[in-house]
Chains A and B, each alone.
Chain A
């Protein structure tokens, strides 16, 4: 029997996973979890994520974690099991705001109404740091950008052609992702995804003015934050406007602070300092 190659993990932002609506059907004789196909055509069974723990709920046999990256949240379920006895303890030991790198299997569940829920069952939980998160985000950005470029090139062709895309310098996997995108997510707006990723991956500038503005936003969030709900986006925008900063620039700043791991989004448009 031929040895089966290890399924390498995919590095995708939470937004790509959140927007996923397609799950492959399992072949009849195969066991395990089916592949999910994301809007960028990424075919995922194993995933590697990096982010900040923003919520934790520990029960006897299950610990649920919410891990936030620059664009949203991943949902992680860690079951007590005899094969990896230390894993649940590892999850339980994580504190809120801890930086983590998690590799695991993607688990899908579809409701009767057809709503798809995806969560991650970890195989490995590693304590991370700001550098780990920034490196992961940089690589995930690189991967997303290449996939979107391959999709855009594929869409320019009269008919989809994998060979033509690989001849342009894209990998076979990137060409196959582009094909799957066209098969399952033809109307998905990849430009919007690219804009979100690029905005979140802007590296901090060293200018004094920017540092000063960051400091102002951080202090404001820390001092105007509801202990549960965090600080309102509208309040931050209004405060920074009083300090002479336009909404778009404040948005940029919030994205950078999120990318640096200094703040996170507790819920929609609510921020907390790490």
Chain B
């Protein structure tokens, strides 16, 4: 049997057989007018390299880490890289006795371009907000560092196991794994991750995006625009200190002994001419823009009524263009934006918003 290797695959590959290791396996549900279904995607590898795949059909017994023989597959270009496709005509034969050492090849990404479709990556950036903790595995104490990794396009949470890293330094990290938690992407690395300290590069204070560019989860980006719709259920809400759910009742139905507190919340739709995005803003950004202090939100003696707060939110958000900094996350209804800071647009920065890359000042 002639077996082809990953580094020899191209768009003309036909009627070949390949033996690969399933490096990652993610299931995705689909819903359309034709009905519901599932497909799988991830990364396969062999001794010559790795490649992303999509399996429209896959035997239920296949697991991550299995070595399999594939026949009747196809290879096509998707998002500028080759991808292997398995469908109902593909034979997937499990080879339980086989072991395989995979040659890892990691594509380098900017943070804004990370997706679950390529789960092993190389990213360069600045490390900030490092928190070091210990955890126990197999009876042994191990180290983990939680931090943020930031480049000129966004930031992302990063967990590094058994690896020491210094805050405010720039690193190139090869072999990080991309995963998703609550609609936001995160990276993780361990002792196999290659870490190289690099020269610092410029990271702008604001990473300004047009809404059409926000196609996936990314942290610490800045959007601008007009608020064109303001949700009616936002404003001043009573919240349970235990579960943080909002309620109109005096006590939380699930935690009647827990204290209640007053909180601020707004949800709205933002437009910038290139599209729209649903946004939410909580206590901190709203207190800043509404000029409200903690003591004004005293549960027993609040300074403002619900209607006062609604009016203040409308006046602050609706009339003019604003700058919103926060995190984009993905959910069942698509991408949404959690606002962490709201600022007014200043006149000198206006010219930025009509500029294209390569423009000098208009």
Q: Quick check: B345 and A135 within 8 Å, CB to CB?
A: yes
Residues of B within 8 A of A9 (CB): 228, 271, 276
Q: Quick check: B354 and A201 within 8 Å, CB to CB?
A: yes
Q: Quick check: B273 and A6 within 8 Å, CB to CB?
A: no
CB-nearest residue of chain A to B275 = A8
Residues of B within 8 A of A143 (CB): 273-274
Q: Quick check: B269 and A6 within 8 Å, CB to CB?
A: yes
- 6 tightest Cβ-Cβ pairs between the two chains A and B: A11-B273, A139-B273, A135-B321, A138-B354, A8-B276, A141-B354
Q: Quick check: A203 and B350 within 8 Å, CB to CB?
A: yes
CB-nearest residue of chain B to A127 = B319
Which residues of A (114-171) have their CB < 8 Å from a CB of B? 124, 126-129, 131-132, 134-143, 145-146, 149, 167, 171
Name 16 extra pairs, CB < 8 A, besides A135-B321, A201-B354, A203-B361: A6-B269, A8-B276, A9-B228, A103-B228, A128-B319, A129-B320, A131-B321, A135-B224, A135-B345, A136-B226, A138-B351, A139-B272, A139-B273, A142-B210, A142-B274, A142-B353
Q: Quick check: B319 and A126 within 8 Å, CB to CB?
A: yes
Which residues of B (259-316) have their CB < 8 Å from a CB of A? 269, 271-276
A266 CB within 8 Å of chain B: no
Query: Which of A48, A126, A135, A145 makes the CB contact (< 8 A) with B350?
Result: A135
A2 CB within 8 Å of chain B: yes
CB-nearest residue of chain A to B211 = A8
Residues of B within 8 A of A149 (CB): 356
- Docked CA distance A149–B359 (Å): 13
Residues of A within 8 A of B320 (CB): 128-129, 131-132, 135
Interface centre among A8, A11, A145, A198 (most CB of B within 10 A): A8
Residues of B within 8 A of A201 (CB): 354, 362
Residues of B within 8 A of A127 (CB): 319
Q: A3-B333, A48-B226, A48-B228 are in contact. Are A203 and B345 (CB under 8 A)?
A: no
Count of chain A to chain B residue pairs whose CB atoms are closer than 8 Å in the complex:
92
CB-nearest residue of chain B to A149 = B356
- Docked CA distance A140–B354 (Å): 8
Residues of A within 8 A of B210 (CB): 142
A173 CB within 8 Å of chain B: yes
- Residue total for A at the interface (Cβ-Cβ under 8 A): 38
Query: Which of A3, A6, A136, A146 makes the CB contact (< 8 A) with B276?
Result: A6
Q: Quick check: B350 and A171 within 8 Å, CB to CB?
A: no
Query: Which of B269, B334, B345, B356 makes the CB contact (< 8 A) with A131?
Result: B345
* Residue ranges of B at the interface with A (Cβ–Cβ < 8 Å): 31-33, 80, 210, 212, 224-226, 228, 269, 271-276, 318-321, 333-334, 345, 347, 350-351, 353-356, 361-362
Q: Quick check: B212 and A134 within 8 Å, CB to CB?
A: no
- Docked CA distance A6–B228 (Å): 12
- Docked CA distance A258–B345 (Å): 21
**B317 to A: closest C-beta gap in Å:** 11
A101 CB within 8 Å of chain B: yes
A202 CB within 8 Å of chain B: yes
CB-nearest residue of chain B to A135 = B321
Q: Quick check: B355 and A8 within 8 Å, CB to CB?
A: no
Residues of B within 8 A of A131 (CB): 320-321, 345, 347, 350
CB-nearest residue of chain A to B272 = A139
Residues of B within 8 A of A2 (CB): 31-33
* Residue ranges of A at the interface with B (Cβ–Cβ < 8 Å): 2-3, 5-6, 8-11, 48, 101, 103, 124, 126-129, 131-132, 134-143, 145-146, 149, 167, 171, 173, 198, 201-203
Residues of B within 8 A of A173 (CB): 212, 275
Chain A to chain B contacts (Cβ below 8 Å), 30 pairs: A2-B32, A2-B33, A5-B334, A48-B228, A48-B273, A126-B318, A128-B319, A128-B320, A131-B320, A131-B347, A134-B350, A135-B224, A135-B320, A135-B321, A135-B345, A136-B273, A139-B225, A139-B273, A139-B354, A140-B273, A141-B354, A142-B273, A142-B356, A145-B354, A146-B356, A149-B356, A171-B274, A173-B275, A201-B354, A201-B362
Q: Quick check: B319 and A134 within 8 Å, CB to CB?
A: no
- Docked CA distance A156–B26 (Å): 40
Residues of B within 8 A of A132 (CB): 226, 319-321
Residues of A within 8 A of B272 (CB): 139
**B112 to A: closest C-beta gap in Å:** 13
**B273 to A: closest C-beta gap in Å:** 4
CB-nearest residue of chain B to A143 = B273
- Docked CA distance A209–B285 (Å): 42
Q: A9-B271, A131-B345 are in contact. Are A171 and B212 (CB under 8 A)?
A: yes
Residues of A within 8 A of B356 (CB): 142, 145-146, 149
CB-nearest residue of chain B to A101 = B226
**B132 to A: closest C-beta gap in Å:** 40
Interface centre among B210, B274, B319 (most CB of A within 10 A): B274
Query: Which of A11, A136, A171, A202 makes the CB contact (< 8 A) with B362?
Result: A202
Q: Quick check: B226 and A138 within 8 Å, CB to CB?
A: no
CB-nearest residue of chain A to B353 = A138
**A186 to B: closest C-beta gap in Å:** 24
